[in-house]
């Protein structure tokens, strides 16, 4: 498990935004992963996707790394943000915009507003 932890640690620290998910950003393989990847894609966020289905050590390792039992898991600037429900709430409240802005992550503000309008 040490190799998985090292790999995860290097990935989350080397990339501004990382989504550990089932599937890929272009082909999610579960509804929760699809929702978070869809939000990030729609908002134009440049993010690294890691398919946990491709590696059992990473699949378990990410849960141990974050001490969070579910996937997907979003990291911004090396910090764990949350899973699907938390990202959905943060998107709708505008907190995700604030997190991106405070960390210098580029995203489409108009797209973020459209998500809120459609779900308001």
Beta-bridge partner residues of 79: 76
Rounded (5°) CA angle 23-29-31: 125
Side-chain-side CA neighbours of residue 78 (13 Å): 4
Query: Per the annotation, does 30 bind a ligand?
Result: yes
Residues placed in the known binding site: 30
Residues placed in the known binding site for [2Fe-2S] cluster: 30
């Amino acid at each position: 498990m040490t190799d998985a932890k090292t790999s995860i640690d290097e990935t989350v620290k080397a990339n501004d935004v990382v989504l550990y998910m089932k599937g890929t950003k272009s082909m999610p393989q579960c509804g929760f992963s699809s929702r978070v990847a869809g939000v990030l894609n729609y908002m134009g966020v440049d993010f690294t996707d890691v398919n946990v289905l491709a590696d059992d050590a990473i699949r378990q390792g990410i849960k141990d790394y974050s001490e969070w039992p579910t996937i997907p898991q979003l990291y911004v600037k090396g910090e764990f943000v949350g899973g699907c429900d938390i990202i959905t709430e943060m998107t709708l409240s505008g907190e995700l915009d604030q997190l991106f802005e405070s960390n210098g992550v580029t995203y489409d503000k108009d797209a973020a507003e459209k998500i809120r309008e459609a779900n308001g």
